[in-house]
Amino acid sequence: MQHTILVTGATGYIGSHTCVCLLQAGLRVIAIDNLCNSSPQVIARIEEIADRALPFAQLDIRDYAALDALLKKHAIDAVIHFAGLKAVGESMSQPLRYFDNNVAGSITLLRALAAHDIKTLVFSSSATVYGDPQSVPIAETAPLSATNPYGRSKLMVEQILSDLARSDEGWRIATLRYFNPAGAHESGRIGEDPHGIPNNLMPYVAQVAIGRRAYLSIFGGDYPTPDGTGVRDFIHVMDLAYGHLAALQRLFSGPGCFTVNLGTGSGVSVLQAVRAFERASGQTIRCRISARRAGDIAACYASPTAAQTLLAWRAEKSLDQMCADQWRWQQANPDGYGQTH
C-alpha cells in the first residue's frame, strides 16, 4: 500500500531533503509551507531530483480552516512536522513570535489532525531540549531543560505530544531530536539557504569561502574543549532525512511512541569543522574569535544507540562529505535560491 505523507515546512532545509528521500522511497507526499523563510523554487527542484510530482500548498499551520480544507481534500496517512522558526538568537529577542509559531502552530495542527483521525506523526525536535548537558554523549534519558526560547518551544511541543499520546493510545508519535544538520543534497540542487546572516556554522563558512562574507565570527574561544571552541555533532542532512523515513516505517509497523536522537555520536569543534571545509573547498577561511553568544553551550553530541537499535538507522556520511556537498551547493547557488537576502 502506498502511504500518503503530509510534510509541514516542506520547503525548508531539512524538509526539502526529506521530501526527496520520501519520494524516492515510493511514498506519496503532500507539501505545505508558509514560505516565511524559504523559496517556492524548492518544490520544482525536489521534483527534478526525485523525478516525481510534489503537490504543494502555501499554508500556515496556524490557519485551522486552511488545514481542515487540505485534510478533507487528501487522504493523509501520516505527518512529518517540520514547520517552525529555528534561530536561537532570534528567539531570545522575539520569544512571543517563537511560541506563537512553534507551539500554538503545533497545537492547531494537532487539533486538525485529530479531527480527521490522522494520528501518526513524526515531530522535528532538537538537541536544544537538553539545555546545557551535564555530560556527553547525551542519551535520550538525560535531563531536559532549554536555555533559550527556541529550545523551550521544542520542549513544550514534546510535552504536549507526550500528554496527547497518554490521553489516546491511538496516537503513534516519533520525536526526533536532531543535533547539527550540515551539508546538502549531492546534486547541488537543494541546500540550506538562510535569509540574512546565517545562524548555523556551515552555511556561514561556505559564504566566507565564496566571498559573500569577509570572515567567520567564532563565538567563544575559551570553552573547556580541546581547542577552546564549541563542540557539536554535525550530521549530514541526507542522513537526517533517512532517519525520518526509518521513523515513519517504524510507526507504520506497530503502535507506540518513541523519542530518539539523530546524530553521529562524535563531537567536532568549530575549528575542526572550519579546517575540514578548507580541505573541501581549497579556500582559506578567515576567522575571528568573538565573545560567547547568549544561550550557547560548550559541548553537545549525541549517543546514537537508541536510533540504531529502534530504527536500524545510523549516520553514514563523514564530515568531509558534508563539507564537499555544502561547497558544491554554495558554488552552484552563490545567492541561494535567488531571493533578495
Active-site positions? Answer: 150
Cβ 144 vs Cβ 155: under 8 Å: yes
Query: Exposed, middle or buried: residue 143 (CB in 10 Å: 0-12, 13-18, 19+)?
Result: exposed
Nearest-CA neighbor of 230 among 319, 132, 299? 299
Count of H-run helices and E-run strands, the chain: 12, 14
Q: Residue 55, preceding bond cis, omega within 30 degrees?
A: no
Dist CA 176 CA 243 (whole Å): 8
Dist CA 233 CA 319 (whole Å): 10
User: Which ranges constitute the DSSP H helices of 193-318?
Assistant: 201-210, 237-253, 270-281, 305-311
Owner of C-alpha cell 481534500: 73
Cβ 102 vs Cβ 84: under 8 Å: yes
Dist CA 113 CA 104 (whole Å): 14
Strands 231-232 and 268-269: antiparallel
Dist CA 18 CA 154 (whole Å): 19
